[in-house]
Structure 1
Amino acid sequence: MLESLWQLLWHFLPLPLIIFLGGIAVGVLGCSAIAAYLDRKPVIAQRIDIIPKLEDLFGSLELQSLITVSNGENSYNYRDLHTVQVELTNQSRQNFDEFEFGIALASDAAIVHMEVQSPDRHRVVKPITPFSFGQPRSQVDLSLQPFNREDSYTFRLLIIVPEGSSSLGTVTLSSPEAARFAELPTTQELLKKAAKAISLPLGPFKISFR
């Protein structure tokens, strides 16, 4: 039907008008493609690694540890202190002078301390929400300044959970920026994948971990 319409236009309309209408159609399609490209949200890659506790490493339910942490003024004792490492990488083509994002935990877990590994001294992380050993928070907002293309920041969080709790729960990232978080494989998943591809020669035999 569309082909028939163009044939009618070709026979009854002047050539300049046909060229004009064709230009409008191409322009509309081009604008739509550009708008769709610009509307794509920047992709921020996230990797969240939950580091096993001492009891988990030994696999013993009877083994319990008491951890004492001091900030120079006060000492705090914890039986359930978890370590979580978060890595953020800007995989988009957009440079952010400032990128705000938040870390949210389960309601019964809270962040008490954070260590940051930034690319260099010109890239800083500023806490928006204050938190400390004496002021734990289950929701924390941070600001990365700047967060340019291919920049990567790593955070190591100390998280407490109520005594007797067997699970840390989920760690969720969000941002007021127009960005989309994409999950990367955890370090444990990468190691498992690498181990499956290992083959060890043993005399005439070959042992494979696939």
Structure 2
Amino acid sequence: MDTLVTNGQTDTIMEWLKILLPLLGGGAVGAIITMIVTTYRNKIQSVGHKIQIDKIFYPDAISNTEITKITFSGATQTYHFDNLFIATVLLTNSGNKDIEKFICGITLPENIKVVKIETVPQDRHHTVLLKSDIKFDNTSSEIDFELIPFNRKDAYEIKLYLTISKDTLELADIKLGSPHPIKFVAMNSELIWNSAKKVMEITIGHY
């Protein structure tokens, strides 16, 4: 009967076994597993983000006989804007580490200003700490905030009320940044234009 393994091949296999078995018995497998787990834990963490832009008020045309402004009415003062958009930014910790305090910022071009901010933490145990004092009379193109905490799978929603001095607003205009060693990973972002028709004037009550 023909043999499937020759004597030479058997000797080779035995030599490999003599090398591998002591390694396996000496904890090499455990060391390899530890190395893999350590590498996984130390990889750059990912923060998922989704941005949706809604056009709230943007006149299709300017006419001398029409008032094409949106007005925010306060207790003693009103503020008028030629247009208004809402950019909803959703941030999710999609990494494998809990972050006690996540520092983040949003940077816009100079011709795009934030006039109001709303934050939507997932519950009362999660907080968005705004570091930028944004008001209708103190607009800015730079927003800084902290998410406390930012544990694995946590999600925060931040709404930016924007006014622009150019013709278009693009998703690429909204830049996210952080001093943490993370990478921002885009989820499905949307640019949604609401079908709001041109109006004479919009007044939004006391803010």
Shared fold, TM over 0.5:
yes
User: 1:185 corresponds to which residue?
Assistant: 188
- AA matched with 2:136: F
Alignment of 1:1-210 (within 5 A): 10=15, 19=22, 23=26, 26=29, 29-55=32-58, 60-61=60-61, 65-162=68-165, 165-169=166-170, 170-187=173-190
Instruction: Work out the CA distance in 1 between the residues paired with 2:24 and 2:92.
Output: 45
Q: Evaluate the alpha carbon distance shift between residue 185 and residue 132 of structure 1 in structure 2; reply closer, same or farther with a 3 A threshold.
A: same
Give CA-to-partner distance per residue, 1:55-83, whole Å, 9 cap, x none.
47xxx445873011134343211002221
* CA-atom RMSD in angstroms: 3.2
Instruction: Work out the CA distance in 2 between the residues paired with 1:188 and 1:68.
Output: 24
Using CA pairs under 8 Å that are at least 6 residues apart, name the structure with larger relative contact order, 1 or 2: 2
Instruction: Work out the CA distance in 1 between the residues paired with 2:23 and 2:135.
Output: 66
Q: Evaluate the alpha carbon distance shift between residue 54 and residue 136 of structure 1 in structure 2; reply closer, same or farther with a 3 A threshold.
A: closer
How many residue pairs get matched? 177
Q: Evaluate the alpha carbon distance shift between residue 71 and residue 146 of structure 1 in structure 2; reply closer, same or farther with a 3 A threshold.
A: farther
Structure 2, unaligned runs of 5 or more: 1-11, 193-207
Identical counterparts, % of pairs: 26
Give CA-to-partner distance per residue, 1:106-142, whole Å, 9 cap, x none.
1221212101111112211111222221111111110
- AA matched with 2:46: V
Q: Secondary structure at the match of 1:167?
A: coil
Q: Secondary structure at the match of 2:37?
A: helix
Kindly state the Cα deviation for residue 188 of structure 1 after the two structures are TM-superposed.
Answer: 5.8
How does the TM-score come out when normalised to structure 1? 0.69
- AA matched with 1:167: T
How does the TM-score come out when normalised to structure 2? 0.70
Mapped contact 2:41–2:96 kept (Cα < 8 A) = no
